Amino acid sequence: MGEAHYLEHEVHGWAARDSSGVLSPFKFSRRATGPRDVTFQILYCGICHSDLHQIRNEWQTSKYPMVPGHELVGIVTEVGPEVRQHKVGDHVGVGCMVGSCQNCDSCEKGAEQYCEHVTWTYNDIDHDGKPTYGGFSALMVCDERFVLQIPKSLPLDAAALLLCAGITVYSPLRYFGINEAGKSLGVVGLGGLGHMAVKFGKAFGMNVTVISTSPKSSEDIRLYHRYCFSQA
215 SS3 class = helix
**Which residues have CB under 8 Å from 152's CB, separation 6+?**
91
Task: Tell me the pLDDT band of 217, cut-offs 50, 70 and 90.
Answer: confident
- Fold agreement (9-160, 166-230): no
Helix axis angle, 192-204 to 218-230, nearest 10°: 30
Q: What is the pLDDT of residue 215?
A: 74
As a whole number of angstroms, the distance between CA 225 and CA 51 comes to: 28
Band (231; pLDDT cuts 50, 70, 90)? low
Q: What is the pLDDT of residue 229?
A: 64
Q: What is the pLDDT of residues 39-80, one digit of tens each?
A: 999 999 999 999 999 999 999 999 999 999 999 999 999 999
Q: Is the pLDDT of residue 232 over 90?
A: no
Strand 139-143 with 37-45, pairing: antiparallel
Task: Please tell me whether the overall predicted TM-score, pTM, comes out greater than 0.85 for this model.
Answer: yes
The domain limits of the chain are 9-160, 166-230
Helix (H, G, I), strand (E, B) or coil at 155: coil
If one compares 157 and 216, the residue with the highest pLDDT of the two is 157
Q: Can you give the pLDDT at residue 5?
A: 55
Fold of 166-230: Rossmann fold (3.40.50)
> pLDDT category, 6, cuts 50, 70, 90?
low
Does 122 score more than 70 pLDDT? yes
pLDDT of residue 1: 45
133-150 confidence digits (pLDDT tens): 999 999 999 999 999 999
Q: What is the pLDDT of residues 75-89, one digit of tens each?
A: 999 999 999 999 999
- SS3 breakdown of the chain: % helix, strand, coil, rounded to 5? 30, 25, 45
Segment holding 42, helix H or strand E? strand 37-45
Instruction: Tell the CATH topology of 9-160.
Output: Quinone Oxidoreductase; Chain A, domain 1 (3.90.180)
Count CB atoms within 10 A of the CB of residue 189.
16
What's the length of the chain?
Answer: 232
